[in-house]
């Protein structure tokens, strides 16, 4: 490592984001980069550990520990410290196809497993990663690099989210002719419509990468919905291999009285409509708008936070976010040791913005919904909640139990369901005849990705269930490797 005492000399430092009160008035990204001198000092904090847990990429106790794409983090931290930016970019791209995405929206399990984090704040890995790739684009180092030789083998990738894009990018590098089918009007999947613009800029970041992939030879076809206007069996006939990367897009519902009322929407429908309107140049033209409304977001994950941030920019009157789980502790609990993902209390960008306007964190914990009530026109007007406590049932499982006398009515003209996803949509999978597991995911063994149908592979959330973007990239790279082996008999893909 370049500076053996760096972790002692320098404190953890992140760039100051744009002010919450300022940024809620636009849809631009709100993160900044540190000036080069200070960022190099952050790279110097890396200890170049003998056993660097930051890039292990394993599931421990239900959470990711270390980087799932096995980024060579100590190497590019040292290169940044020494000012060797282009070398740092080369190291970064060796393991991660899209660091401009992960450097913005990944929760950074690498930092949760940083060895320095045992006794001090961890290295600012995520911010360094984002700065390396952004500098690569700014310096003009990110140029098209199409394969020198084409194999003549044709592969179709269904779905253009992070798993599909990673698979397409790798397969194209191997020289295959890759076509990506996307059922929406723009490629990008979750990256385009599932993540708001202020977190991941669509034109400056997502479309820039898609253009580069096109220049390298990847073909994108939009409005291509397999099972509706594209026949699955024809794909098996026309292509040498098929890769299914359709994600886990079936949202978890809320089976309570009043669910059918107008104004109750799935979070992803809300976020997609908002981004589509923004890209059309008329952000206020979205059919689901929060302006002047009392907004209730049900669910405490990243999608819920994105709903909070979107509603803030649309000018909601009030905002409440409900979570059935207890409030996490400020520090790691005894049953959550390093290098596990730290399940601690955090204030994300959306909650920070709501607190700046309304005076407090909008989240309420240990709360569930009893019913929704509406007006004469059938529009939601009120949500009735009840507090819960978690207890063991007869089988020893932890389940929520309602606390009598804690019912509370809250005004609500917009209710957003952000409670996660239960699996892939079944139609396309049935058309291919692939087997599903007990959760409704595609049966395809990890690191093999083969389904019961010869030539059909599956990767990403449709195979593993709802997960992180970085796991999707991991699986996209992995399925590309196995498809290349299937087509050519061997593979050199990493």
Query: What is the C-alpha to C-alpha distance for residues 124 and 34, in angstroms, rounded to an integer?
Result: 11
Mean pLDDT, the chain, as a whole number? Answer: 96
Residue with tokens 């007869």: 394
Q: Is the pLDDT of residue 432 over 80?
A: yes
Here the tokens at position 241 are 């291999």
**pTM given for the model:** 0.96
Dihedral Cα 195, 200, 243, 226, nearest 10 deg:
50
Here the tokens at position 124 are 């600012």
For the chain, give the longest Cα–Cα distance: 71
The tens digit of pLDDT for each residue in 76-126 reads: 999 999 999 999 999 999 999 999 999 999 999 999 999 999 999 999 999
pLDDT of 54 reads: 96
Span 426-450, mean pLDDT? 95
Domains of the chain listed by start with CATH number: 6-138 (1.10.1060.10), 154-249+422-488 (3.50.50.60), 253-419 (3.50.50.60)
pLDDT of 63 reads: 87
pLDDT of 279 reads: 97
Alpha helix stretches (DSSP H) within 82-124: 85-95, 99-105, 109-112
The tens digit of pLDDT for each residue in 380-405 reads: 999 999 999 999 998 889 999 999 99
Backbone angles phi, psi at 83, to 5 degrees: 80, 15
pLDDT of 3 reads: 87
Whether residue 178 is preceded by a cis peptide bond, meaning omega within 30 degrees of 0, is: no
Q: Is the pLDDT of residue 362 over 70?
A: yes
DSSP string, 224-265: --BTTTB-HHHHHHH-SEEEE-----EEPP--SBTTTSBTEE
Q: How many of the other CB atoms lie within 10 Å of CB of 134?
A: 17
Portion of the chain with pLDDT greater than 90, in percent: 96
């Amino acid at each position: 490592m370049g500076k053996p005492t760096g972790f002692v000399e320098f404190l953890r430092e992140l760039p100051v984001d744009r002010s919450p009160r300022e940024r809620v008035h636009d849809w631009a990204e709100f993160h900044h980069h540190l000036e080069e001198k200070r960022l190099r000092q952050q790279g110097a904090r890396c200890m170049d550990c003998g056993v660097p847990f930051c890039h292990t990429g394993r599931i421990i106790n239900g959470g990711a520990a270390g980087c799932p794409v096995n980024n060579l983090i100590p190497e590019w931290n040292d290169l940044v410290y020494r000012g060797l930016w282009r070398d740092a970019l080369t190291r970064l791209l060796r393991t991660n196809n899209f660091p401009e995405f992960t450097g913005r929206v990944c929760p950074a399990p690498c930092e949760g497993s940083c060895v320095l984090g045992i006794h001090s704040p961890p290295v600012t890995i995520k911010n360094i990663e984002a700065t390396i790739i952004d500098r690569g684009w700014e310096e003009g180092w990110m140029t098209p690099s199409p394969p020198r030789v084409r194999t003549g083998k044709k592969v179709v990738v269904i779905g253009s989210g992070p798993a599909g894009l990673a698979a397409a990018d790798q397969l194209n590098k191997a020289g295959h002719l890759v076509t990506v089918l996307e059922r929406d009007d723009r490629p990008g999947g979750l990256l385009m419509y599932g993540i708001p613009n202020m977190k991941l800029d669509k034109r400056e970041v997502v479309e820039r990468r898609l253009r580069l992939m096109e220049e390298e030879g990847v073909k994108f076809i939009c409005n291509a919905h397999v099972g509706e206007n594209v026949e699955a069996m024809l794909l098996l006939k026309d292509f040498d291999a098929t890769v299914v990367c359709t994600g886990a897009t079936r949202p978890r519902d809320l089976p309570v009285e009043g669910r059918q009322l107008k104004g109750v929407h799935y979070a992803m429908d809300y976020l997609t409509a908002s981004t589509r309107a923004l890209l059309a140049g008329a952000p206020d033209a979205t059919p689901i708008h929060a302006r002047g409304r009392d907004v209730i977001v049900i669910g405490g994950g990243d999608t819920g936070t994105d709903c909070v941030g979107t509603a803030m920019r649309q000018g909601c009157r009030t905002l409440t976010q409900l979570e059935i789980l207890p409030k996490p502790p400020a520090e790691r609990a005894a049953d959550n040791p390093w290098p596990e993902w730290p399940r601690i209390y955090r204030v994300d960008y959306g909650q920070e913005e709501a607190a700046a306007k309304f005076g407090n964190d909008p989240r309420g914990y240990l709360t569930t919904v009893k019913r929704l009530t509406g007006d004469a026109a059938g529009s939601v007007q009120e949500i009735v909640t009840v507090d819960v406590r978690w207890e063991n049932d007869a089988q020893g499982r932890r389940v929520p139990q309602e606390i009598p006398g804690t019912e509370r009515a809250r005004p609500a003209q917009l209710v957003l369901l952000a409670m996660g996803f239960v699996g892939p949509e079944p139609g396309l999978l049935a058309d291919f005849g692939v087997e599903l597991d007990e959760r409704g995911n595609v049966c395809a063994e990890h690191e093999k990705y083969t389904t019961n149908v010869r030539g059909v592979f599956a990767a990403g959330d449709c195979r593993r269930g709802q997960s992180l973007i970085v796991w999707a990239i991991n699986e996209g790279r992995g399925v590309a490797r196995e498809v290349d082996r299937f087509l050519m008999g061997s593979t050199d893909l990493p």
